[in-house]
Structure 1
Amino acid sequence: MSFVLVDRPVEAVAVVTLNRPERMNAMAFDVMVPLLAELQALGSDNSVRAVVLTGAGAGFCSGADQESAGVPPGVAGVTRPTYALRAMEVLEEVVLTVRRLHQPVVAAINGAAIGGGLCLALACDLRLAAPAAYFRAAGINNGLTASELGLSYLLPRAVGSTRAADIMLTGRDVGAAEAERIGLVSSVHEDVVAAAVRTGERVAGFSQPGVELTKRSLQAGQAATSLESYLPSEGLGQLYLRLLTGNFEEATRARHEGRAPRFTDDR
């Protein structure tokens, strides 16, 4: 049985499904290692313009697997502390790979996103939820810190520092309606995967380097120390596409002709 499924419902969009529903798609290494490999492969596939990440069954991803975590790669002969470091490196690399992909990643959060699963959702560029979705920073409930896999970095940037503190320090569940209200997700849909695929199709209609640069700019802007230091990088991105492609002229013609533009990313 494959614990990670990849489907192409439309040509430009790949749907990646965590497929261990009996464990609520927990972050066992049997799931995370193939997920990492699939994400890396999709990142190199230029025919894929957007990636949808979701879970099978009732859960998106329930975080750490307490019962059947599996074995991380590269741990033969290491001590217990080194084993723990290697294990965290695998999970951290999954989060970082989602952020590094050329393509935008849309989280279709179908159910529970708990602990590391919440971190995985936050690593995605866009988040859509099903009505049954809920979110929990579970570490604090388990006698640990709520901070893991970048949660204390990503969550305040999504919902603000005060709401992030409320979610992380109380360990309470955030339902889909509240998640939409506070900006943790952008919208709620009965068929969240179909909605995410439609979002991916829309993104695929734009300029490929334009989308890639926008994803990079969103991340760089969140990490920038000041507006003054950051503005030139955005300006250079605009000039890059304005001077090297005919996209702007095509968009103007398309508006005049009442049609959708066809961006070639070339002159």
Structure 2
Amino acid sequence: MRETGAALPSTDRVRVGYAGPETLLVELNRPDRLNAMSGELIDDLHAVWAALAGRTDIRAVVLTGAGRGFCAGLDLVDYDDAGLAATPQERFELQERIAALVTGMRALPQVVIAAVHGPAAGGGLALALGADVRVAGPRAVFAVSFVRIGLSGADIGVSWLLPRLVGASRAFELLLTGRTIGAEEAVRIGLAGSVVDDPRGTALEIAGEVLANSPMGVRMTKQVMWSQLEVGSMQAGIDLENRTQIMTSFTRDHGEAVTAFTERRTPRFEDR
């Protein structure tokens, strides 16, 4: 992982560096706590999202965790000992800060690929669900943990994201029981795309495949896919597709792709 310089914040808690051309590796780095979210880690990750928002030179982000965990959710020790939420107002503000990590990731122009090699629980599950693509390792474990600590199972966007990935019936069961899901089951129910021995390496390979496509086409695909999860009808979704398709058809990169196809060569995209 190569350094990115001052423009992209890298800290002891969230390490950031280039993992390849136009590809950034974001690694949660509290391995002794299974990368559970402290207040500082939450702030650090927000800073990374903010820095990425205007970066067209970075097109793919691989999100993972150091050590044996992806992210164990909110650090309950830090939550109590540091007085992160001493009043109802402070607790609500903390809740909004954590939830905004998921919506912030969704709003990024980059494709975000979660490489889940170990436990992803609670808020960590929300981060995985909020990514555009999920790759699981053999020891990956997904857990909707909220209901098991006396809270609602509906938290941090999980009750919106989960049924759209696995269906309402299965999402109800997972939210109400709080049971854990292994890697093989995660793939079977649609929570993850694949189980591989090296999820980080596979995530980087997927990033490379994404980068082979035109920048505008990829950005518009991400935007439309997320929007389609919210539109109220098939016709509204098709209308959105039609407008986006016509817009991208006028880019130089589309013309380059057509020319490259006829000339039997790899296209050279310029994001124009």
TM class by smaller structure: over 0.9
Separation of aligned partners in 2, 1:135 and 1:173 = 6
The alignment's C-alpha RMSD in Å is 1.6
Structure 2 equivalent of residue 257 of structure 1: 263
Shift of 1:71: 6.1
Query: Normalising by the residue count of structure 2, what TM-score does the alignment of the two structures yield?
Result: 0.91
Letter in structure 1 aligned against 2:260:
A
Give 3-state SS (helix, strand or coil) of 1:52's partner.
strand
Structure 2 equivalent of residue 43 of structure 1: 53
Which one of the candidate residues 156, 159, 163 is aligned to 1:149? Answer: 156
Which one of the candidate residues 60, 67, 70 is aligned to 1:57? Answer: 67
Structure 2 equivalent of residue 185 of structure 1: 192
Residues 260, 62 of structure 1: alpha-carbon distance in 2 compared, 3 angstrom cutoff: same
Separation of aligned partners in 1, 2:21 and 2:221 = 22
Could you list the per-position Cα deviations for residues 169-197 of structure 1 after superposition, in whole angstroms to 9, with x for gaps in the alignment? 12111000110111101111111111111
Could you list the per-position Cα deviations for residues 89-147 of structure 1 after superposition, in whole angstroms to 9, with x for gaps in the alignment? 21011111101101111001111000111111101111111111010100111122111
Separation of aligned partners in 1, 2:22 and 2:140 = 26
Give 3-state SS (helix, strand or coil) of 1:180's partner.
helix
Aligned pairs (5 A) from 1:88-127: 88-127=95-134
Which one of the candidate residues 234, 239, 243 is aligned to 1:236? Answer: 243
Aligned pairs (5 A) from 1:168-183: 168-183=175-190
Separation of aligned partners in 1, 2:252 and 2:22 = 22
Separation of aligned partners in 1, 2:137 and 2:49 = 23
Give 3-state SS (helix, strand or coil) of 2:219's partner.
helix
Give 3-state SS (helix, strand or coil) of 1:144's partner.
coil
Structure 2 equivalent of residue 27 of structure 1: 37
Query: Normalising by the residue count of structure 1, what TM-score does the alignment of the two structures yield?
Result: 0.93
8 Å CA contact 1:108–1:192 kept in 2: the answer is: yes
Matched pairs, number:
260
Give 3-state SS (helix, strand or coil) of 1:14's partner.
strand
Which one of the candidate residues 8, 15, 21 is aligned to 1:5? Answer: 15
Give 3-state SS (helix, strand or coil) of 1:146's partner.
coil
8 Å CA contact 1:29–1:71 kept in 2: the answer is: no
